[in-house]
Structure 1
Amino acid sequence: MSVPDWIAADWGTSHLRLWIMRGDTPLRRIDDPRGMSKLTPDGYEAVLLELLGDELTGPTDVVICGMAGARQGWKEAPYAAVPCAIPSEGIPVPTSDPRLRVRILPGLSQSSPPDVMRGEETQIGGFLAAEPGFDGVLCLPGTHTKWVHVSAAEVVSFRTFMSGELFDLLSTQSVLRFSVSDGWEQGTFLEAVNDAMGRPATVAADLFAIRAGSLLSGDAPGAARARLSGLLIGLELAGARPYWLGQEVVILGESALAEIYRTALAAQSAMVRTVSVEGVTLTGLTAAYSRRTA
């Protein structure tokens, strides 16, 4: 078995990804379900030792991003305030086993309006490693979607929108759960995006109309799902207009959700393209490790 130079780790809320690294080449990847939500601070080192085992033949650097650095994680890594470059100098974490030399990368914070990110900054760093001259806006779709202004290799500002979480709550825990299920109608989605952007004050009423439409007109479940998504993303695009209007926008995300955002933005005549998020976190961790050891 090859001896690793270092270990890259993305330690999220519900999942851990480890890469055994030789330089900038991953020798293999380990996935584990023991994310931050399942661990106490004294449990992280034990997980690493269990998963890495005999591969640790001497002192080995471990570079970690994500929720392991949260206040409730392994050890809090204080946020770096924007505007700033993507941090590469993580905070050291004491370990009992001398074979582990652990550092956790900080997230980013913004004071006005208040906002934070933890983990996404490493994805941004991975994107910038591939496109160092990029000047524009990144959209990172997810449960909490990030809109990030990047200029001169720095994060200038960002905003977080809870559209994904609102969709989950409304589709599974509100009266709309009786109307929303699988399926999709693209025309209905785009119409809802325009409705929310043009008449945001009536969105609360438009949401209930989804339920009423399924009762009175037998609207298809796919139409209900598309309309709920369109109303929420339309509100988000209205709020994020200063980020995307007149800017080059790169959507950094998984294919299905990224395509939904791309379609909505393209319908607003935005300059938009998508970049797959696959591998970008590892690229960001590698860039941070390389800058620190250069």
Structure 2
Amino acid sequence: MQGGTVLDKAQSDAGMAKLGATQFEGALLDLIEPWLGDSALTVIACGMVGARQGWVEAPYGAIPTTPVADGLVQAPAIDPRLNVWVIPGLKQTAPADVMRGEETQIAGFLALNDGWDGVICLPGTHTKWAHVSAGEVVSFQTFMTGEQFALLTENSVLKHSIGTGWDDAAFKDALNDTMSRPERLAAYLFNLRARDLLEGFDADSARARLSGLLLGAELSAARPFWLGQNVAIIGDDTLARAYAMALDAQGVPALVADAARMTLAGLQAAYRTTKDS
């Protein structure tokens, strides 16, 4: 980065799940070796690299707090060309909850939308709903909706009935079902399999209906977060569109923000804290 400009980028799938405690520096060097010179390059990292099993543990900051809290943790890099800082995650004690990585996207959104108050939804494997006010995260809640979707489509009896496509109408119908009767979710889920066996229910429609059922249950539980609030969504295009569609069906317009742009803006905000300290 040079200011807000991306000069180059690199990526790999060598994340925490694939690396031992002493392998993080090597994985980073494999990616950025061509960018290194004689002097130390500052690297700002977020996400599971700061977990207990990551490169270095960056203890959670307790809410209420700014999303990129004070106290970035320096990683123990051996190569003198690296100056690596890890952003802490956030924690909530009652009810117990944690986040790592999403705080950086929230910081980026707030940096680009000065004075914005409301609720930020961050869809993903573990979707976060975060209430922000006066530049601070004041509460949040996590839903395992994305992981449930993956488990059901890959490891349950539903894997035989779920396609790869989409059907907006099926998604909205299912959303309405669980928004109205969330206690019937388990029955609605098996109904997908039964309809396939007895009616030959379209597999792409079944996928959209499964997504709608799970998201409807989530929205029902998360109602205190989004009802009557300004809402922003930070996520990839497909997930963000589904959440925006679901909220729109409840009469809640949502501002959709690009996840990559928010992440970069959050990393910039964290970088500035290293310059100010």
Interval of TM-score (by shorter of Structure 1 and Structure 2): over 0.9
| Structure 2 match to 1:69 | 50
Counterpart contact for 2:11–2:31, Cα < 8 Å: no
Structure 2 residues not aligned, in runs of 5+: none
| Structure 2 match to 1:133 | 115
1:147 is paired with a residue whose SS is strand
| Structure 2 match to 1:30 | 10
With normalisation by structure 2, the TM-score equals 0.94
| Structure 2 match to 1:18 | none
With normalisation by structure 1, the TM-score equals 0.89
| Structure 2 match to 1:254 | 236
1:85 to 66, 78, 85: 66
| Structure 2 match to 1:223 | 205
Distance 2:209 2:6 in 1: 42
1:44 aligns with 2:24: yes
Aligned length, in residue pairs: 274
Aligned structure 1 segments of 4 or more residues deviating by more than 6 angstroms = none
Look up the equivalent residue of 2:119 and give its one-letter code. Answer: V
Distance 2:85 2:10 in 1: 19
Distance 1:57 1:32 in 2: 25
Distance 1:44 1:177 in 2: 35
Distance 1:186 1:282 in 2: 32
Look up the equivalent residue of 2:237 and give its one-letter code. Answer: S
Look up the equivalent residue of 1:175 and give its one-letter code. Answer: V
User: Aligned-pair distance for 1:143?
Assistant: 1.0
The 5 Å alignment of 1:203-242 reads 203-242=185-224
User: Aligned-pair distance for 1:94?
Assistant: 2.3
| Structure 1 match to 2:78 | 96
Distance 2:32 2:147 in 1: 34
| Structure 2 match to 1:286 | 268
Look up the equivalent residue of 2:91 and give its one-letter code. Answer: S
| Structure 2 match to 1:149 | 131
Q: Point out the more displaced range, 183-192 or 72-81.
A: 183-192
1:95 is paired with a residue whose SS is coil
Structure 1 residues not aligned, in runs of 5+: 1-20
User: Which one has a larger percent strand, Structure 1 or Structure 2?
Assistant: 1
Counterpart contact for 1:59–1:101, Cα < 8 Å: yes
After superposition, give the CA deviation of every residue in 1:93-145 in whole Å (9 maximum; x if it has no partner). 22222222221110011111111110110011111110021100011111111
1:282 is paired with a residue whose SS is helix
Counterpart contact for 1:247–1:271, Cα < 8 Å: no
2:38 to 52, 57, 67: 57
| Structure 1 match to 2:101 | 119
Distance 2:138 2:22 in 1: 36
Change (3 A) 1:175 1:150: same
Distance 1:274 1:24 in 2: 20
Distance 2:6 2:70 in 1: 19
User: Aligned-pair distance for 1:88?
Assistant: 4.8
Look up the equivalent residue of 1:31 and give its one-letter code. Answer: Q
Q: Which structure is richer in relative contact order (CA contacts within 8 A, separation 6 or more)?
A: 2
After superposition, give the CA deviation of every residue in 1:190-228 in whole Å (9 maximum; x if it has no partner). 111111111112111111111111111221112211211
User: Aligned-pair distance for 1:170?
Assistant: 0.8
Distance 2:211 2:227 in 1: 21
Distance 1:34 1:110 in 2: 29
Look up the equivalent residue of 2:139 and give its one-letter code. Answer: S
User: Aligned-pair distance for 1:30?
Assistant: 1.5
1:51 is paired with a residue whose SS is helix
1:169 aligns with 2:151: yes
